Amino acid sequence: MTVRVRFAPSPTGYLHVGGGRTALYNWLFARHNGGVFILRADDTDAERSTPEFQQDILDGLTWLGLDWDEGIEVGGPHGVYRQSQRLERYQEVAARLVASGAAYYDLATPEQLESLRAAAESAGRSPVYAGTHRATPAQVHGHLAEGGVAPIRFAVPRPGETIFEDLVRGSLRFDHANVDDFVILRSDGTPTYHLASTVDDVDFGITHVVRGEDILSSTPKHILLTLAMGGEPAIYAHLALLNGPDGKKLSKRHGDTSLRAYREAGILAGAMRNYLAILGWSPGDDEEVVSPETMIERFELTAVSRNPAVFDTTKLEWMNGVYLRALPAAEFVELTRPLVESELGRTLDDREAAVYAAIAPFVQERAKRLTDAAPQVTFLFVDDVAYDDASWEKVMTKQEARVALDGALARLEGLAGWDSPSIEEALRAMLEEHGLSASKGFQPLRVAVTGSSVSPPLFESLEALGRERALQRLRSAADRVSSES
RNA sequence: GCCCUCAUCGUCCAGCGGCCUAGGACGCCGGCCUUUCAAGCCGGUAACACGGGUUCGAAUCCCGUUGGGGGUACCA
């Protein structure tokens, strides 16, 4: 039997990292088994669903490199993959369930429900609605005939229990005493998540439901519904949720939670995908940096961790650095050049682009995020460097600063060529001449030229800057140093 | 409150009754390299939540406690 899985997010917010991971695990499982990955929109909540969020989800999945075989945008044998366009089907199923006695119109008032809940709670019992106020068929008929509305509830068999085998959690058992007669069709005729999702899973022939643990306790409802529809329940796998660094539920107060935010902050899709894969699953050996092919080859739901993992951006950044360094130099340039341009507020001309391409590899070596590049190279493309105060304070106030600047000027002004080897030779001679150590002698030059003590290598920076501007910066730094002393 | 669920270094993962004086990765600390910062290389720090069982033997199995997470809607 062909494996068929789905990722069915509600477009009620931007795709977050946890959703991305759920999608990734579904995709890996499908690809590992030569199955079908379906993308569906569980957008029954018309109030909160928006096209913008829907688009963000599509963008996020595509960015992560996940492709789907059926579903939104690509279509498929089951037609529409949006719940908002399948309303009649859910109503039809609900009606059939009422006809068969598996569900019923519920006439209980909100007040009745509330007092039941309150009573149960104060008695220390499960606050479960078990059809206590279920009306007779005649009463229901009368109510409806008079134009009254009512939600349809599923009649959970009592007593009873639902037992199933979860691929990541093992054997699970739920006593129906703790399962509500849940609403499947609201009084306005729209389906709830339970109905719509289950109907779609049955209709689309979903064989494995891989989703977040937040719906674990609703699973008995879905199995019961499936059975009542005459369907074969899927195999379930519930993934533990992601937490923030403090071990609490991951939320905005922990920082960015949307995939989009990380993309914009310079995280590479490959790094994010790899990190998400490793967060709750292990490829087996000690390797953690793994290709998508390897992930697909080794992925097993039964090997997925049961405990909630902390989404740790430190490790994500480390991994991003690994991916960044693995990038071909040209690609790194292509990816970061727009960021440099936006930092400058203008585009680079051809000459400048060539300068950037020459210096970029040195930046690539030390970057953790794509966004780290621009701040390190803007000194090349502005008329006057802005000195970093801390850097200036640290090196320019030292005795050697003046000696180094004057010495460098003397050596460089008459230099024949302007390439980093020649510059290095000249400056090392300067060191020798004044008896300066490399760090004492070169740091002032670095700050003079790049504005900061953290920058690409000195000689390459000087070469890239060009003779005129380089000398000019050394001079103005020397002037400032002498005026301050 | 009630129901479900989870529990190995600060974090992620390995471990599935003896190979564990618990392994790897990130982080952190130290060293090397070195013109800075990184990167790289080398070394170090650090954990089986607690209490009972079961067993010749438990990180591994069972029970309880504690703590975390989820659910408890005509939201998904």
Of the candidates A394, A395, A385, the one whose C-alpha atom is nearest the C-alpha of residue A476 is A385
Of the candidates A420, A445, A416, A419, the one whose C-alpha atom is nearest the C-alpha of residue A430 is A445
pTM: 0.94
Check if residue A308 sits with its Cβ under 7 angstroms from strand B: yes
The two structure tokens encoding residue A25: 């695990």
CA atoms within 13 A on the CB side of A292: 15
Burial profile A231-266: b = 16 or more Cβ within 10 angstroms, e = fewer: bebbbbbbbbbbbbeeeeebeeebebbbbbebbeeb
First CA to last CA across chain A, in angstroms? 82
pLDDT at A324: 97
Q: Where are the beta strands (DSSP E) in A357-422?
A: none
Please list the residues that pair with A396 across neighbouring strands: none
Cα dihedral: A248, A249, A255, A258 (round 10): 160
Question: Nearest nucleotide to A445 by CA–C1' distance?
Answer: B35
Complex ipTM value: 0.94
Residue A343 is which amino acid? E
Cβ pair A445, A400 in contact under 8 A:
no
Check if residue A105 sits with its Cβ under 7 angstroms from strand B: no
Query: What does the pLDDT profile of chain A (485 residues) look like in tens digits?
Result: 899 999 999 999 999 999 999 999 999 999 999 999 999 999 988 888 999 999 999 999 999 999 999 999 999 999 899 999 999 999 999 999 999 999 999 999 999 999 999 999 888 888 999 988 899 999 999 999 999 999 999 999 999 999 999 999 999 999 999 999 999 999 999 999 999 999 999 999 999 999 999 999 999 999 999 999 999 999 999 999 999 888 778 877 788 899 999 999 999 999 999 999 999 999 987 789 999 999 999 999 999 999 999 999 999 999 999 999 999 999 999 999 999 999 999 999 999 999 999 999 999 999 999 999 999 999 999 998 989 988 898 888 888 899 999 999 999 998 888 999 999 999 999 999 999 989 889 999 999 999 998 899 999 999 999 999 999 999 999 999 888 76
Whole-angstrom distance, CA of residue A227 vs CA of residue A233: 7
Whole-angstrom distance, CA of residue A247 vs CA of residue A241: 11
Cβ pair A250, A311 in contact under 8 A:
yes
Bond prior to A159 in cis (omega within 30° of 0): yes
* Helix (H) or strand (E) run with residue A464 in it: helix A458-465
pLDDT at A485: 67
Concerning whether A440 is annotated as a catalytic residue, the answer is no
Distance of CA A384 to the CA centre of its chain: 39
Whole-angstrom distance, CA of residue A409 vs CA of residue A386: 20
Query: Which residue reads 């005729």 in tokens?
Result: A189
Check if residue A330 sits with its Cβ under 7 angstroms from strand B: no
| Strand B footprint nucleotides (protein C-beta < 7 Å) | 1-8, 10-14, 16, 23-27, 34-40, 68-76
Q: What is the DSSP string of A403-414?
A: HHHHHHHHHHHT
CA of A429 to C1' of B68 (A): 63
Question: Nearest nucleotide to A275 by CA–C1' distance?
Answer: B12
Residues 6+ apart with CB under 8 A from A129: A108, A113, A116, A117, A153, A180, A181
pLDDT at A390: 87
Check if residue A282 sits with its Cβ under 7 angstroms from strand B: yes
Please state whether beta strands A242-243 and A309-310 pair in parallel, antiparallel, or not at all (unpaired): parallel
CA of A354 to C1' of B20 (A): 57
Whole-angstrom distance, CA of residue A340 vs CA of residue A346: 9
Chain A window 50-89, residues with Cβ within 7 A of nucleic strand B = none
Question: Nearest nucleotide to A302 by CA–C1' distance?
Answer: B16
Other beta carbons within 10 angstroms of residue A150's beta carbon come to 17
Whole-angstrom distance, CA of residue A441 vs CA of residue A427: 9
Query: Which residue reads 């499908």 in tokens?
Result: A30
Burial profile A350-385: b = 16 or more Cβ within 10 angstroms, e = fewer: eebeebbbebbebbbeebbbbebbbebbbbbbeeeb
Check if residue A312 sits with its Cβ under 7 angstroms from strand B: yes
Give the largest CA-CA distance in chain A: 107
pLDDT at A228: 97
